[in-house]
Amino acid sequence: MAVFTEVPFDTARRLIERLDIGTLTTLEGAAGGIENTNYFADTDRGRYVLTVFERLGFEQLPFYLGLMKHLAQRGIPVPDPQADAEGRILLELLGKPAAVVNRLPGRHREAPDRAHAEAVAAMLARMHLAGADFPLRQPNLRGLAWWAETVPVVRPFLDPAQRALIDAELAFQQQLAASAAYGALPAGPIHADLFRDNVMFTDADGEDRLGGFFDFYFAGVDRWLFDIAVCLNDWCIDLDTGALVEARAQAFVAAYDAVRPLQANELRLLPALMRAGALRFWISRLWDLHLPRDARMLAPHDPTHFERVLRQRVAQPWHYERS
């Protein structure tokens, strides 16, 4: 259960009262997640999620919440932060930052097929375009600078072969980031963590429909291609082996490309960015496993999964072929 901060019903009721979204009827802790306290909060007028931020401070949240508001206003299905009478969407509860967003319909799909991948890819492209004029700028805080800072911290926990891999891949990404081709990649706000468990699908009428993207708390301004790479490494792999499911990956990129045509240097650098995406989550999972920030931290994700994915992306780079 991802409830790190217990919120009494009356405390939540008073907060909800300030938002003009009805009267709180039920409040229930949400399972899953490893970062924030989430409660499902129903009112007599709608369904919401109350989040108390455990890791993030008041300085980073205006970017995340503002981006969600911006995207929601442009018709992208993402949680829409609710404002109080003064127009504030970043709230405070029990001394911690908090927000109330609308609850997306549906549930995530653990075993996505090609149609799920295509729906996510097309919406990802729409989201990138819709976010392009978002005025706030915050870098991807889990980007290259963080990897370089964190690799020395997790390195002592690795065996010699793992150290060689992590050192080589970090050096490869540093060299890539300094290249002109990388510098020319289009950039803007990205989600940066759009895994299967951060996307809802509804199954009304026997057909799956995209319910929305959520958990924007790793978002930042970075290369759009990085978002595509992160998705390919999750939506388009066999989780048992880490192998890319090439037909699904091909369909994913084609669906994205149909909405926002990829540039030639994006097509060329995709294999390198897929290595970046695998490295990023290998490092963060190592960090979560070996340096838990809090004794109450839930079971961390398995780092060896992304070590394996990274080895495969290095050994078998995959190129998208436009048909």
Ligand X SMILES: N[C@@H](CCOP(=O)(O)O)C(=O)O
Alpha carbon of 121 to those of 115, 126, 140, 145: distances in Å?
A: 10, 9, 20, 27
- Structure-token pair, residue 65: 């919440």
Give min distance, CB of 185 to ligand X, in A: 22
Comparing CB distances to ligand X, the nearer of 16 and 144 is: 144
Q: Which of 281, 307, 313, 320 binds ligand X (CB under 6 A)?
A: 281
Separation of alpha carbons 125 and 121, rounded Å: 6
Binding range to ligand ADP, per CB under 6 A, among 9-17, 213-221, 260-268, 310-318 = 213-221
Give min distance, CB of 34 to ligand X, in A: 5
Footprint (CB under 6 A) of ligand ADP, residues 59-98:
79
Please identify which residue in the block is written with the tokens 């299967």.
Answer: 196
How many other CB atoms sit within 10 Å of the CB of residue 316?
11
How many other CB atoms sit within 10 Å of the CB of residue 58?
11
Footprint (CB under 6 A) of ligand X, residues 156-215:
193, 195, 197-198, 215
Site string for ligand X, 23-42 (x = CB under 6 A): ----------xxx-------
Q: Which amino acid is at 313?
A: R
Q: Which of ligand X, ligand ADP, none does residue 101 bind to, with CB < 5 to 8 Å depending on kind?
A: ligand ADP
Q: Which amino acid is at 117?
A: A
Q: Are 159 and 184 in contact (CB under 8 A)?
A: no
Binding residues for ligand ADP, total number by CB under 6 A: 17
The reply to whether 34 sits near ligand ADP by the rule CB under 6 A is yes
The reply to whether 217 sits near ligand ADP by the rule CB under 6 A is yes
DSSP state at residue 318: -
Comparing CB distances to ligand X, the nearer of 182 and 281 is: 281
- Structure-token pair, residue 79: 């949680």
Q: Which of ligand X, ligand ADP, none does residue 281 bind to, with CB < 5 to 8 Å depending on kind?
A: ligand X
Q: Which of 209, 301, 308, 311 binds ligand X (CB under 6 A)?
A: 301
Alpha carbon of 79 to those of 73, 127, 131, 149, 308: distances in Å?
A: 11, 13, 15, 32, 33
In degrees and rounded to multiples of 5, residue 226 shows phi and psi of -65, -40
Alpha carbon of 56 to those of 37, 59, 299: distances in Å?
A: 12, 8, 20
Q: Which of ligand X, ligand ADP, none does residue 118 bind to, with CB < 5 to 8 Å depending on kind?
A: none
In degrees and rounded to multiples of 5, residue 67 shows phi and psi of -65, -45
Residue nearest to ligand ADP (CB): 33
Comparing CB distances to ligand X, the nearer of 14 and 296 is: 296
Dihedral in degrees, nearest 10, Cα atoms 271, 118, 222, 284 = -70
Comparing CB distances to ligand ADP, the nearer of 79 and 112 is: 79
The reply to whether 47 sits near ligand X by the rule CB under 6 A is no
Give min distance, CB of 75 to ligand X, in A: 24
Q: Which of ligand ADP, ligand X, none does residue 213 bind to, with CB < 5 to 8 Å depending on kind?
A: none
Give min distance, CB of 197 to ligand ADP, in A: 6
Please identify which residue in the block is written with the tokens 């129903």.
Answer: 42
Q: Which of ligand X, ligand ADP, none does residue 193 bind to, with CB < 5 to 8 Å depending on kind?
A: ligand X
Separation of alpha carbons 229 and 247, rounded Å: 15
Q: Which residues pair with 43 in a beta bridge?
A: 24
- Residues at the contact surface with ligand X, assessed by CB under 6 A: 33-35, 193, 195, 197-198, 215, 281, 284-285, 301
Would you tell me which residues interact with ligand ADP (CB under 6 A)? 2, 30, 32-36, 38, 49, 79, 101, 103-104, 197, 214-215, 217
